[in-house]
Amino acid sequence: MPDTNLKPGWKRMLTGDRPTGPLHLGHYIGSLSMRVNLQDQIECFVLMADLHVLTTRTENLNEIGDNIRDVVLDYLSVGIDPKKTTIYLQSLVPEVLELFWLFMPLVGVPRAQRIPTLKDQVRDLHLESSSMALLSYPILQAADILMVKGDVVPVGADQASHVELTREIARRFNQTYGKVFPEPDAPIVPVLVGTDGQAKAGKSIGNVILLSDDAKTVEKKVRSMYTDPKRIRADIPGTVEGNPVFVYHDHFNDNEDEVNDLKDRYRSGTVGDVEVKTKLADAINRFLDPIRDRRAEFAARKGFVDDVIRDGSARARAECQKTLAEAREAMGLTYFRGAQKVEVGT
C-alpha cells in the first residue's frame, strides 16, 4: 500500500483519473486506498480529467459520459466520501483553461518536448508526431494541480516528470510575479503487476481485474493468470517471489495463515496451481464483495452520481476562481476588475 503518513505542509491532495473505462485492482493499490485513508486527515480533491482524454483520442467521445459515471461509482464503492472529498469533472471548471493559458508562456517548447512520456505515447499510439494537445498536456495537468493549490500529488513513476514540470511552473510564476503557488510533493504510488505477468496492470492492455467484475468473471481471470512458467507439474518446486498469483495473494488475501501455507507448499512442490488460484479467486471475491454491495447501493439511487459530480465541480470551480483571481492580480491582469458585464454592440 502507498505510504499514507502525512508530511509537514501537506494540506491538500489532488489526484485523478482519465475517464477511459472502469477502474481496477491496480488503481486500488496505486491510489484509491490512499485517497480513502487521507480523506479524514487533509482536504482531498479527486479530478475526472475528461479534457485530458482529448490529448490522445478524437473519436468515440460519446462514451465518455458513461465512463465518468462508472468511475464515480468506483470511487464511492471503495469508500471515497463526497462529503469529505471533492469529486469533480474537469470540463465543468472552465477557469482551469485560463490558468493553463497563463502558464503556457512559462514553458518553452524544448522543455515540453523533454517530458519522457511524450515520446512513449507517440510511439505506443503509432502517431506521426505529437499533437499540440499532447505536447501541452503536462501544462494543463499543472493547472489542475495548482488551481486548488495542491501540495501533495501521488503519482505513478511514469508521471513524476509531469509533477516536476508543475514544480518548475510554480517556481517560475512565483519568482516572476509573486508568491501564489505551492511546489507540490509527488509521492510515488506502488504498481500492481498485471494478471499476464507484465510489469503493470493496465486497462488498455486488458490484464486487469476490475472493481466491478462479478464473482464468475474474477474466477475466470484468476484461472488464466500467469504463474511460474518453469513449473510444468504440481510436484515441481515453484518460485513465489515475483509470481503474480502470490503478489495478488499478498495484497488481497486476508487469511495470512492460508497464504503462508500455500507459499510453503508451492516452494516444496506439494500444491497445484489450481488450488492456489482457486483460493486466490475466493480471496479477491471476499475483498470485492462489500465494494460490489456499495456500488449497487449507490447505482440504485437515481440521480445521486450526477449530484455528486455537480456539487463537487461547483466547489472545485469556486477554488479555481479564487486562485485565478490571485494569479491575475499578481500578473497585473486586473484592468477590467469590477466589470460585471461587457456590452456587445449591435
Q: Where are the domains of the chain?
A: 12-192+302-331, 215-299
CA-based torsion, 153, 158, 160, 161: positive or negative: negative
User: Which superfamily does CATH assign the domain made up of 12-192+302-331 to?
Assistant: HUPs (3.40.50.620)
What is the per-residue pLDDT for 59?
Answer: 76
Average pLDDT of the residues in 321-327: 96
Helix orientation angle between 64-78 and 273-299, rounded to the nearest 10 degrees: 100
Structure-model confidence comparison of residues 149 and 198, the more confident one:
149
Report the half-sphere exposure of 150 (CA within 13 A, side-chain side). Answer: 28
Q: Which of 6, 57, 43 is nearest to 19 (CA)?
A: 57
Determine the angle formed by the axes of helices 304-331 and 64-78, rounding to 10 degrees. 100
How many residues does the structure list for the chain? Answer: 346
What value, to the nearest 5°, has the Cα angle with vertex 4 and ends 283 and 193?
45
Name the band, by pLDDT with cuts 50, 70 and 90, for residue 134: confident
As a whole-number percent, the residues of the chain with pLDDT over 90 amount to 73
CA torsion angle for 333, 339, 340, 346 (degrees, to 10)? Answer: -110
Mean pLDDT lowest for which of 199-208, 217-226, 246-255, 323-332?
199-208
Q: Is the pTM of this model over 0.85?
A: yes
Using the predicted structure, report yes or no on whether residue 280 has a pLDDT greater than 70.
yes
Architecture field, domain 215-299: Orthogonal Bundle (1.10)
Nearest alpha carbon to residue 98 among 312, 327, 343, 318: 327
pLDDT higher than threshold 90 for residue 5: no
- What pLDDT does residue 150 have? 94
Least confident of 1-10, 143-152, 161-170, 187-196: 1-10
Cβ(181)–Cβ(165) under 8 Å?
no
